[in-house]
Structure 1
Amino acid sequence: MEKLKEQICKIFDISQEEASIFLAEFKKKEVKKNEIFIAEGEICHVVGLIEQGLMVCVYNKDGEEIIDEFGFENGFITNYYSFLTQTPSLKEIRALEDSMIHIISRQSLEVLGSQHPFIERMSRIMNEKLFLRAHERIKSLLLESAQERYEKLIAQRQDLARRIPQYMIASYLHVKPETISRIRKKMSNTTLLT
């Protein structure tokens, strides 16, 4: 939990005491590999903070999974659209690995926000970060090649290729798995030449 506290302090520029107040309301939960955290069709009433493990957000279209996002250690995980609008989730969030998550309910978060003004600031910062991340993802899909998107993803998370199956990375990047194979081969040939 100390690592999470440090991360919260860093992301939101808050004190250790404020981070402790915020994290005290979270409840620890183990989520086993392939277990669903938020089901498609369910209204999302919780926000998770991943201490350990890996999560995936998936849309299902005509029996095909379309990867929207991955959730890693020290990061938040939720269906924020469903959480804000209180409408049924159009995607599923499940564990790709055995995971340890700290969860806070919408109600607890609202009570906390009414008691501590710094929570409102945290909420604003989170909204800004989510907007910027969504903007970068859309821009990347529109303007960058498959190889540029793959290289950027791997640069951000070096452990991805080891932890996530190739077909999921391909889905996330909106390319075919064979495209990822070609990119990896091209990259390894370039590495061998240098």
Structure 2
Amino acid sequence: MDKVREHIASLFKLSEGQASIFLSEFTRKEFKKNDIFMESGKICNKIGLIERGLMKCVFNKNGDEIIFEFAFENNFISDYYSFLTNTPSAKEIRCIEDTTVYVITRESLERLGRDHPFIESMSGQMNQMLFLKMHDRLKSSLLDSAVERYIKLISERSDLVQRIPQYLIASYLNIKPETVSRIRKKYII
């Protein structure tokens, strides 16, 4: 938990005490590879903070998985749309690896926010970060070539190429697996 506390303190510019208060309502949970963190069709009432491991958020379209995002160490994970709107999730969140995650419920987070004003500020910062991340992803999917999207992914997290099967990377980038193979052969040394 110490590394998680340090990360939260750094990310949100909190004191160690504030980070401890924020994390005080989180519960440590262990998931095995292929375990489901969040089921599609259910209202998402929790947020996870990954200490170790890797998860994927997927939409199901006619039996095919469409990768929306990957979440790994020091990332928050949730269906934030479902969380904010209190509506059933259209996504499933599943572990790609054995994963350790700290989980907080909506009720606990709201209680912390009422008791500690700095947590409301954190919420605003998180909303800004999520907006910017989604904006960059959408802009890239509209304007960048498949090669540019792949290179961006591996430049941000080169270890993901070793951890995520090629067909999942292809789904995330909205390209065919054989395109990923061609890109790897031609552009990656």
Aligned match of 1:126: 126
Aligned match of 1:4: 4
CA distance in 1, matches of 2:59, 2:4: 28
Aligned match of 1:159: 159
CA distance in 1, matches of 2:4, 2:153: 23
Q: What's the secondary structure of 1:69's corresponding residue?
A: strand
Deviations 1:42-96 (A, max 9, x none): 1000000000100000000001100000010011000000000010000100100
CA distance in 1, matches of 2:104, 2:137: 27
In the alignment, does 2:51 pair up with 1:43?
Answer: no
Q: What's the secondary structure of 2:87's corresponding residue?
A: coil
Percent of counterpart pairs with the same letter? Answer: 61
In the alignment, does 2:72 pair up with 1:72?
Answer: yes
Counterpart residue type for residue 10 of structure 1: S
TM-score with structure 1 setting the length: 0.96
Task: Please give the residue correspondences for 1:17-36 in structure 2 after superposition, counting only pairs within 5 Å.
Answer: 17-36=17-36
CA distance in 1, matches of 2:158, 2:134: 21
| Alpha-carbon offset, residue 175 of structure 1 | 0.2
What 5-or-longer segments of structure 2 have no aligned partner? none
Deviations 1:163-185 (A, max 9, x none): 00000000000000000000000
Task: Please give the residue correspondences for 1:138-177 in structure 2 after superposition, counting only pairs within 5 Å.
Answer: 138-177=138-177
The structure 1 segments of at least 4 consecutive aligned residues displaced by more than 2 Å after TM superposition are none
Q: What's the secondary structure of 1:33's corresponding residue?
A: coil
Q: What's the secondary structure of 1:94's corresponding residue?
A: strand
Counterpart residue type for residue 160 of structure 2: L
Counterpart residue type for residue 22 of structure 2: F
Counterpart residue type for residue 21 of structure 2: I
| Alpha-carbon offset, residue 187 of structure 1 | 1.5
Deviations 1:94-132 (A, max 9, x none): 100010010000000000000000000000000000000
Q: What's the secondary structure of 2:60's corresponding residue?
A: strand
CA distance in 1, matches of 2:63, 2:94: 17
Counterpart residue type for residue 164 of structure 1: I
Aligned match of 1:15: 15
CA distance in 2, matches of 1:121, 1:167: 39
Calculate the aligned-residue CA RMSD, in Å.
0.6
CA distance in 2, matches of 1:145, 1:187: 13
CA distance in 1, matches of 2:71, 2:104: 16
CA distance in 2, matches of 1:31, 1:48: 12
Counterpart residue type for residue 38 of structure 2: I
TM-score with structure 2 setting the length: 0.99
